[in-house]
DNA sequence: ACTCTTTAGTTGAAGCAACAACCAATTAGG
DNA sequence: CCTAATTGGTTGTTGCTTCAACTAAAGAGT
């Protein structure tokens, strides 16, 4: 089959997207690590818990929301539990399952970390764009996720298309 | 200082960008790993070399283009050299420096891997967007990189703004 | 010439993440 | 019921990234 190579316009857009995808995680990690002693993954997991009902999620659900494998989440949860930021307890309804629940300490940590994180997001992303571009990014994100995450697992807590 | 929280519109765009940034590397890695036995980082490094004059770049230059630390690149280069895809040789002009040069085998590897990679990029990104959105993504990428990569190190081989 | 600093790169140890193997609890089939 | 298959999680290796220390060459100052 003949390859449909990228046109110059497509290639230009692609090169920039790759650069952003490569650089953004580092920028996020660096600020959170520096200011709050959390990796972006840890912050994200805690933030998901903080917005969940009863600040509690099943390990499997949290793994999907944070795009992690279950083994990875298990290791991370063990570290966070050792730091007192969450607790794991067996689920009453299904005794195979484990519920991860944010402690008061963990909640306090999220509250402490959030302002700096939001400021960082503004600096690197939101405030670098015009209002129109923010809306375009919203649409583009939906289009890309329809191919990358057709089941909407990562964006589960946020209704799509809004 | 009072935190300027994200508006709903901003938050929606941000959530989608985070999801894309989280998912895209995995999608890229999986296809290249499966079809060509290369990580995305390895492919990217080889591709940069393949477009450089004489298929040769200084280690430092290649590290900047691929957003890698020098130690990381050194380890990866050692592995790629062991596989016969590139060679490292001391630089004549500056004997501290090392030049990485793509071998014929490495060139063949890039030629073999490129079509599948491009098809994957089309499937996950380019073909999921309208022509207008591709152009918008180009602009948005420039705006984000002006904050993330002000010196344009990663996009060094491609002139900005085109 | 001789030191001191900076630059370029490599190496070795330590920390995460992925994969695989495993155990426990639930569900389905005969 | 009693077995088999599936689901939910945890626990050990393997490989790559990162961090810190080290070698070596180039340049700067005296």
Asked if pLDDT for residue B5 goes beyond 50, the answer is: yes
A4, part of any domain: no
B37, part of any domain: yes
B155, part of any domain: no
* CB B153 under 7 Å to nucleic chain C: no
Give A-chain residues touching B140 at CB under 8 angstroms. Answer: 16, 129, 133, 136-137, 140
Read off the CATH number of the domain in which B67 is found. 1.10.10.10
Least confident of A22-26, A53-57, B50-54, B157-161: B157-161
pLDDT of residue A156: 67
B131, part of any domain: yes
Number of domains in chain B: 1
What is the per-residue DSSP string for A95-114? TT-EEEEE-HHHHHHHHHHH
Cβ contact, residue pair B16, A141, below 8 Å? yes
| Distance in Å, alpha carbon of A132 to nearest chain B alpha carbon | 10
A11, part of any domain: no
- Please give the backbone phi and psi of residue B108, each rounded to the nearest 5 degrees, phi first: -60, -40
- Output the six-digit token pair for A116: 């700096």
Q: How far apart are CA B108 and CA B113, in angstroms?
A: 9
pLDDT of residue A162: 41
Q: How far apart are CA A97 and CA B143, in angstroms?
A: 45
Give A-chain residues touching B44 at CB under 8 angstroms. Answer: 18
Instruction: Give, for all 162 residues of chain A, the pLDDT tens digit.
Output: 788 999 999 999 999 999 999 999 999 999 999 999 999 999 999 999 999 999 999 999 999 999 999 999 999 999 999 999 999 999 988 988 999 999 999 999 999 999 999 999 999 999 999 999 999 999 999 999 999 998 888 886 555 444
Give A-chain residues touching B14 at CB under 8 angstroms. Answer: 121, 125-126
Domain of residue A45 covers 38-148
Nearest-by-Cβ selection for B146 from A12, A22, A128: A128
pLDDT of residue B42: 97
* CB A41 under 7 Å to nucleic chain C: yes
Q: Across the A/B interface, how many CB contacts are shorter than 8 Å?
A: 183
Nearest-by-Cβ selection for A143 from B14, B115, B128: B128
The label of the residue with tokens 């959390």 reads A38
Q: How far apart are CA B137 and CA B64, in angstroms?
A: 23
A49, part of any domain: yes
| Distance in Å, alpha carbon of B114 to nearest chain A alpha carbon | 9
Nearest-by-Cβ selection for B129 from A15, A143, A158: A143
B107, part of any domain: yes
Q: Closest chain B residue to A26 measured between Cα atoms?
A: B148
- Output the six-digit token pair for B126: 């380019």
- Output the six-digit token pair for A61: 């659900």
* CB B59 under 7 Å to nucleic chain C: yes
Least confident of A26-30, B69-73, B154-158: B154-158
pLDDT of residue A158: 54
A91, part of any domain: yes
When the pLDDT of each residue in chain B is averaged and rounded to a whole number, the result is 93
């Amino acid at each position: 089959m003949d390859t449909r190579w990228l046109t110059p316009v497509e290639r230009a857009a692609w090169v920039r997207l790759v650069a952003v995808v490569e650089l953004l995680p580092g920028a996020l990690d660096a600020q959170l690590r520096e200011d709050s002693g959390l990796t972006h993954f840890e912050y994200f997991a805690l933030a998901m818990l903080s917005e969940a009902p009863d600040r509690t999620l099943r390990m499997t659900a949290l793994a999907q929301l944070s795009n992690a494998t279950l083994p990875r989440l298990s290791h991370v949860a063990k570290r966070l539990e050792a730091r007192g930021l969450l607790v794991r307890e067996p689920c009453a309804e299904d005794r195979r399952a484990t519920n991860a629940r944010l402690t008061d300490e963990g909640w306090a940590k999220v509250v402490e970390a959030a302002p700096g994180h939001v400021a960082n997001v503004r600096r690197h992303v939101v405030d670098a764009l015009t209002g129109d571009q923010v809306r375009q990014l919203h649409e583009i994100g939906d289009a890309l996720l329809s191919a990358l995450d057709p089941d909407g697992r990562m964006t589960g807590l946020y209704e799509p298309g809004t």
